[in-house]
Amino acid sequence: MAKNKPSNKPSKSGPSKASASKGTETSSVETPTGNAPDIDIGISGGDRKKIAEGLARFLSDSFTLYLKTHNFHWNVTGSMFNTLHTMFETQYNEQWMALDETAERIRALGFNAPGSYAEFIRLTSIPEEPGLSDTADWREMVRQLVVGNEAVARTARKVLKTADDAGDDPTVDLMTQRLQVHEKNAWMLRSLLQ
Ligand SMILES: [Fe+2]
């Protein structure tokens, strides 16, 4: 059992190194076990760590897209206001629920979930694009959400592969569901611009 037990020490990717390679490394820390028995669910500690790190990046992408979608729900203007105000609300509500599922999967694998803006900014692959609150150009908002949904889908696809290789069916299932949602969102949003 000991051979699969990962270290409780933080990974070697400290803040300075991680910030130099944004989006490719995490600082996932395995939750201290205290007096509890070691996690023994049939997935090695190394695989659990790899999956948890992927899920941490996925959670960061998902939170960033969630916030962007909610921002645009608030700030959209113009002839498309009713359509987009409602569409964005439907999307951010669905995304909000999925954040919890993702974070709790990381916890079930034995790792701490990122939950601060600093961590999300460090781990996400979706760039901040400030200034839209001033212009509120709905086409630019929709374009950014197409790109954002596709970025989340790409990250989900990578995590799915890692989880599948490790026989982690619950994570495969979760990533499959998220792919369906984000690819559908991207299609619907893109259709507005065609
Ligand atoms: Fe609202």
Q: Does a structural domain hold residue 118?
A: yes
What separation in Å is there between the alpha carbon of 90 and the centre of ligand 1?
A: 10
Q: How far apart are CA 148 and CA 152, in angstroms?
A: 6
Residue 167 has pLDDT above 90, yes or no: yes
CA distance 139 to 99: 26
pLDDT > 90: percent of the chain: 74
Ligand 1 centroid to 93 CA: how many Å?
A: 10
Q: 55 alpha carbon to ligand 1 midpoint, in Å? A: 28
The model's confidence at residue 27, banded by pLDDT at 50, 70 and 90, is low
- In a domain, residue 36? The reply is no
If you measure from the C-alpha of residue 169 to the centroid of ligand 1, how many angstroms do you get, rounded to a whole number? 36
The predicted structure's pLDDT at residue 116 = 97
Residue 117 placed within a domain: yes
pLDDT at 144 (0 to 100): 94
In a domain, 173, yes or no: yes
pTM over 0.85: no
- How many Cα neighbours within 13 Å face the side chain of 155? 29
Which carries the bigger pLDDT value, residue 6 or residue 112? 112
Q: Who has greater pLDDT, 105 or 7?
A: 105
Backbone angles phi, psi at 30, to 5 degrees: -70, 135
> Ligand 1 centre from 96 Cα, in Å?
14
Total domains in the chain come to: 1
Residue at 14 is within a domain: no
For residue 121, being part of any structural domain is answered with yes
Ligand 1 centre distance from Cα of residue 64 (Å): 18
Neighbouring CB atoms inside 10 A of 87's CB total: 21
User: How far apart are the CA of 47 and the centre of ligand 1, in A?
Assistant: 40
Q: Is the pLDDT of residue 102 over 50?
A: yes
Residue 31: the pLDDT is 75
- Domain extent, residue 144, equals 69-194
- Asked if the model's pLDDT at residue 158 lies above 70, the reply is yes
- Whether 28 maps to a domain, the answer reads no
CA of 74 to the centre of ligand 1 (A): 7
CA 71–ligand 1 middle distance (angstroms):
10
156 Cα to the center of ligand 1, angstroms: 28
| 25 in any annotated domain | no
pLDDT in tens, 121-155: 999 999 887 666 656 789 999 999 999 999 999 99
Residues 16 and 21: their CA atoms lie apart, in Å, by 9
**CATH number reported for the structural domain that contains residue 145 in this entry:** 1.20.1260.10
The band of 109, judged by pLDDT with boundaries at 50, 70 and 90, is: very high
**pLDDT value, residue 129:** 76
What pLDDT score does 12 carry? 37
